[in-house]
Structure 1
Amino acid sequence: MNLFQLRAFDAVAREGSFTRAAARLFISQPAVTGHIKALEEHYQITLLRRTARRVELTEEGTKLAAITRAMFGLAEEAQVMLEANRQLLTGRLEVAADGPHMVMPMLASLRTRYPGITVNLRLGNAQETLAALLSEHADVAVLTEVAPRKGLHLQALNESRICALVPAGHPWAQQLRGVQLKVLDQVIMVLREPSSITRRTFDEACAQAKVNPRVLLELDSREAVTEAVAAELGVGVVSSVEVSHDPRVVAVPIIGEGLVNRHMMGCMERRRDLRLIQAFFELAPIR
Structure 2
Amino acid sequence: MADRKLQVFYAVAKHGSFTRAAETLYMTQPAVTFQIKQLEEQFNIRLLDRGHGRVTLTPAGEIVFAYAERILGLSDEMETRIAELTDELTGVITIGTSQTIAGYWLPQLLHKFMALHPRVIPRVFVANSENIENRVASHELDVGLVEKQSSDPTLECSLACQDELKVIVAHGHPLAEATSLKATDLQGHSFVDRDPGAAIRALAEDFFRRNGVPPENLNRRAELGSLPSILHLVKQGLGFAIVAKAALNDYNNRGLVGISLDPPLYSSLNVLVPKDRFRARLHSTFAEFAIKLFSSFERDADTPAEVVSVVESGENRAS
Using the size of structure 2 for normalisation, the TM-score is 0.73
Structure 2: how far apart are the matches of 1:146 and 1:62? 36
CA distance 1:62–1:181, shift in 2 (3 Å): farther
Q: Which AA in structure 1 matches 2:131?
A: E
Match of 2:265 in 1: 259
Structure 2: how far apart are the matches of 1:62 and 1:249? 57
Structure 2: how far apart are the matches of 1:267 and 1:86? 24
Structure 2 contact 130–199 (Cα < 8 Å) conserved:
no
Report Cα offsets for 1:121-140 as digits up to 9, x if no partner.
11111221011111111111
Structure 2 contact 165–242 (Cα < 8 Å) conserved:
yes
Structure 2: how far apart are the matches of 1:113 and 1:78? 24
Structure 2: how far apart are the matches of 1:245 and 1:43? 62
Match of 1:146 in 2: 149
Match of 2:193 in 1: 191
Matched, 1:277 2:275: no
Q: Secondary structure of 2:9's match?
A: helix
5+ unaligned residues in a row in structure 1: which ranges?
none
What is the CA distance between 1:173 and its match in structure 2? 4.0
Q: Secondary structure of 1:282's match?
A: helix
Report Cα offsets for 1:87-133 as digits up to 9, x if no partner.
23421211111221333322222211111011211111122101111
What is the CA distance between 1:237 and its match in structure 2? 1.6
Match of 1:16 in 2: 20
Q: Secondary structure of 1:141's match?
A: strand
For 1:57, which of 45, 55, 58 is the aligned residue?
Answer: 55
Q: Secondary structure of 1:130's match?
A: helix
Structure 1 contact 179–254 (Cα < 8 Å) conserved:
yes
Q: Which AA in structure 1 matches 2:284?
A: Q
Match of 2:237 in 1: 232
For 2:212, which of 210, 213, 220 is the aligned residue?
Answer: 210
Structure 1 contact 165–249 (Cα < 8 Å) conserved:
no
Report Cα offsets for 1:183-237 as digits up to 9, x if no partner.
2122221212343221121111111111354223323322332232223221122
Match of 2:119 in 1: 116
Q: Secondary structure of 1:218's match?
A: strand
Structure 1 contact 88–276 (Cα < 8 Å) conserved:
no
Instruction: Report the structure, 1 or 2, having the larger helix content.
Output: 2
How well do the aligned residues superpose, as a CA RMSD in angstroms? 3.3
Q: Which AA in structure 2 matches 1:276?
A: L
5+ unaligned residues in a row in structure 2: which ranges?
297-319
Match of 2:308 in 1: none
Structure 2: how far apart are the matches of 1:29 and 1:199? 36
What is the CA distance between 1:32 and its match in structure 2? 5.3
Q: Secondary structure of 1:93's match?
A: strand
Match of 2:5 in 1: 5
CA distance 1:159–1:239, shift in 2 (3 Å): same
Q: Secondary structure of 2:122's match?
A: strand
Q: Secondary structure of 2:252's match?
A: coil
Structure 1 contact 180–254 (Cα < 8 Å) conserved:
no
Report Cα offsets for 1:62-109 as digits up to 9, x if no partner.
855565344313321332222222223421211111221333322222
Structure 2: how far apart are the matches of 1:128 and 1:275? 25
Q: Secondary structure of 1:150's match?
A: coil
Matched, 1:129 2:128: no
Structure 2: how far apart are the matches of 1:186 and 1:103? 35
Matched, 1:219 2:221: no
Fraction of identical pairs, as percent: 21
Structure 1: how far apart are the matches of 2:253 and 2:223? 23
Structure 1: how far apart are the matches of 2:256 and 2:65? 47
Q: Which AA in structure 1 matches 2:72?
A: F
Structure 1 contact 95–139 (Cα < 8 Å) conserved:
yes
Using the size of structure 1 for normalisation, the TM-score is 0.80
How many matched pairs? 278
CA distance 1:48–1:241, shift in 2 (3 Å): farther
Q: Which AA in structure 1 matches 2:140?
A: H
Structure 2: how far apart are the matches of 1:8 and 1:184? 51
What is the CA distance between 1:35 and its match in structure 2? 2.9
Structure 2: how far apart are the matches of 1:199 and 1:268? 25
